Chain A
């Protein structure tokens, strides 16, 4: 069974710090990796995707992928209180539905 694991948190960081969110996955055939942000009571919103090993940067967000270790992470630089949300890691092996982790709750303290 394909599994995606995340630390549930909460992860608390001070405003302006770097938040580091981690995710591991079980299916070695996984090809595409996604990070979603979900505010309380709202639906998930896609914020980053990564397909190749290494880093991908988009503004304050950096996704990192290591397929050999089956590990993907999301770094949020200069964290803001508005970044406080649950972050969901999602994985797919191709033309199959996304498998989601349970999410990590991030709290940015002003």
Chain B
């Protein structure tokens, strides 16, 4: 069966510090991978998605970036965090239409 691992679960980072969130999927090949963000009281905002290694589509211009160095690995990064980057970050995978989410990372930028 397929599983998705996302870490860390919680993170507190100062403004201006770098960020790296990692997500890996097991039990499937060539999945579509996604990074969503959910701010307090708001819906799920698609940040990046990838249909293959090295193929990244950005949905929202911001100071975040994503990379897919391996088929089942997806990384979200920032060089300098802003207060507005706080939120609940969710990695997800899909093969068909439906998406399955990791446990999420709650990021607080202070």
Q: Name A residues whose Cβ lies closer than 8 Å to a Cβ of B.
A: 31-32, 34, 41-46, 49, 88, 90, 92, 94-95, 97-103
Contact = CB atoms under 8 A, between A and B. Distances in A.
Contact of B44 (A42, A92, A95, A100): A100
Given A44-B90, A46-B98, A49-B98, A101 B43 contact: yes
B99 A98 contact: yes
B101 A44 contact: yes
Contacts of A44: 44, 90, 101
A43 B104 contact: yes
A100 B102 contact: no
B98 A103 contact: no
Is chain A's binding surface mostly helix, strand, loop or mixed?
loop
**Which 9 residue pairs are nearest across A and B when measured between Cβ atoms?**
A102-B43, A32-B97, A100-B44, A43-B101, A43-B104, A97-B49, A97-B46, A92-B97, A44-B101
A90 B104 CA distance: 18
30 contacts: A31-B97, A32-B97, A32-B98, A34-B97, A34-B98, A41-B106, A42-B103, A43-B90, A43-B101, A43-B102, A43-B103, A44-B90, A46-B98, A46-B99, A49-B97, A49-B98, A88-B43, A88-B44, A92-B97, A94-B97, A97-B34, A97-B46, A97-B59, A97-B99, A98-B94, A98-B97, A98-B99, A100-B43, A100-B44, A101-B43
Interface residues of B, number: 20
Interface of B: 32, 34, 36, 42-44, 46, 49, 59, 90, 94, 97-104, 106
B98 A102 contact: no
B97 A42 contact: no
A50 to B, nearest CB: 11
A69 to B, nearest CB: 21
Contacts of A98: 46, 94, 97-99
A109 to B, nearest CB: 22
Given A32-B98, A92-B97, 19 more contacts: A32-B97, A34-B98, A41-B106, A42-B104, A43-B102, A43-B103, A46-B98, A46-B99, A88-B44, A90-B99, A95-B97, A97-B99, A98-B46, A98-B94, A98-B97, A98-B98, A98-B99, A99-B46, A102-B43
